[in-house]
Every structure is written in C-alpha cells, then in structure tokens.
Amino acid sequence: MHAMQYELSLPADYDMGVIRSRVARIGHLLDDWEGLGFKTYLLRERGVNGSPVNQYAPFYLWNTVEGMNTFLWGGAFQGLSNDFGRPSVRQWTGLAYEEGGAAGSPARVAVRRRQSVPDGAELSEVMAGAVGETERLAGEDGSVFAAAAVDTSRWELVHFSLWAHETPKADGDVFEVLHVSAPGRERLPRGRQW
C-alpha cells in the first residue's frame, strides 16, 4: 500500500465553489481506476474547522505502484497541473490499514495528522505505535477507515482517517470530503503491512 497527497493552497479570497464544481464534474473519473484503493477529494476552507488556508488536497491509498504511476505519468495528473500548476506530490509507504464500523457509508470529513519520527527513537516501537493508532481510530464510532504510512526521506508519519460524521475522534487537520473513489477498497491489505 502506498499513500499519496498533494496540496493546492489557494488565495484567501478564492471562490471554493470552483473546486466543488470541478470535483462534481470530474470526480467520477477515478471511480474505476486500476490499482487505486481510495481517492478522497478533500477541501479545507479558511476559518472552517480551524483551517488557516483555502486548500484542495486529495489523499490517495494505492494498491499498486503501477496504478499510481499511470495516474501521475499517464495524463490524469497533467490536467490538474495544467489548471493549477504542478504541485509537489508527497508519498508515504504504507504501515497499516483498517476499516471502521462505518465502512461503506458516505464520508463527511477526513483527518490527517503528520508527525515527525524523533531522532534516536526505536523504529520498531514507533511503527508499532502507528499500527496501534490505526486500530484505535478504526474502532471509533463513525470511522470509515484509518491508515498510517511513513516517509523515510523525512522520517514523518502520516495518520489518515475518514469519518461518516463531522465529529471525528482524531487529532489533526480536518478536511471536508467532496467525493470518494474506491475501486480497489476490498484489495487494500488489512492490518500491519510488514
């Protein structure tokens, strides 16, 4: 499993209706994308849920590197780059994935928390803690799914969870979910990824 996200931070006075309309128009195009577990089309609005910015920031869980690369190099990502400029694309190696009790329900919000892996930390303990946090999040009421991944070039963990209600029991940046494409959800490996 591979996690991926890019962020388009937009001006404070940007009409976020443009992003909503874009997702309504093209969001379905990845509903059957080979190699994709989930794509969550995410939005943050300045002043809503504590957000300091207007931002479009889709988050992906990929079943295959081939599916991810086809998205990035095969033309789909080029449309976004043409319209907004090419954003930096963050990638993390999967650590854990768990479905919650609300799996299959429409998602309302997502929460993303990034944290540094401390220098000198015992890596096995940190990664086991990330797996445990994934299990805890997935066990909370209203959880659709939870995942954890690590970027070893920056030694950064990312915890990502999707919720069927607007009161998630997770800390981090809160995003409105505009659409979810989940063609390979059932093929995402459950539990610890090593």
Q: How far is the C-alpha of 36 from the C-alpha of 51, rounded, in Å?
A: 28
pTM, full prediction: 0.95
Residue 75 has a pLDDT of 82
The token pair at 65 is: 């590197």
Closest CA to 181 of 82, 76, 66, 74: 76
Q: If you ran DSSP here, which 8-state letter would residue 107 be given?
A: P
| Residue keyed to tokens 């931002």 | 55
**Predicted confidence (pLDDT) at residue 34 exceeds the cutoff of 90:** yes
The larger pLDDT score, comparing residue 49 to residue 75, is at 49
Contact (Cβ atoms closer than 8 angstroms) between residue 51 and residue 174: yes
- What is the rounded average pLDDT for all residues in the chain? 96
